[in-house]
Amino acid sequence: MEAARLGQRIRELREWSGLSQAQVGASLGLHLVRIREYESGKRRIRSATLARLGEVLGVSVTEFFASPGEGRKKVKPDLVKAGLAPSPKLIKALKNPEFLRLMERSARAAQFHKKNLKGMNEALGRLRIGP
């Protein structure tokens, strides 16, 4: 299957699942630009990533290769319990703009503190204490 057709199918199934590119990217640990590249056919998707994407979207991998409109099979609910698919609570949180702002702010704060801690450790290393 060509990358453009597969990308179109990925977009179709993502929209059917009600998730944004950012939400799918966050669930997969990828930037939304990567999801956009997959959907546009500019980047080929690895089979392992495609399998994880199916879990996130709640569809089987075969759905990506089915013709549009063919039956969409939901993933068994046990996958949510096993942590292989996002829970409805997580999906709801990812749709909340306030939650996303909070997560972004937390990530920036963590980077800031990591950078400052490194600087403090370097300064302490240069500091000579003793006779």
CA 19/CA 113 separation, integer angstroms: 32
Q: What share of the chain is helix, strand, coil (3-state, %, to 5)?
A: 70, 0, 30
What are the structure tokens assigned to 53, written together? Answer: 């994407």
Spatial CB neighbours of 8, under 8 Å, sequence gap ≥ 6: 39, 41
pLDDT mean over 54-59: 87
**pLDDT value of position 115:** 72
pLDDT tens for each residue of 26-50 = 989 999 899 999 999 999 999 899 9
pLDDT tens for each residue of 80-130 = 455 556 666 767 777 778 877 887 888 777 777 777 777 777 766 666 665
Residue 66 neighbours by CB distance under 10 Å: 15
- Whole-model pTM: value is 0.53
At CB < 8 A and 24+ separation, what contacts does 69-74 make? 72/13, 72/16
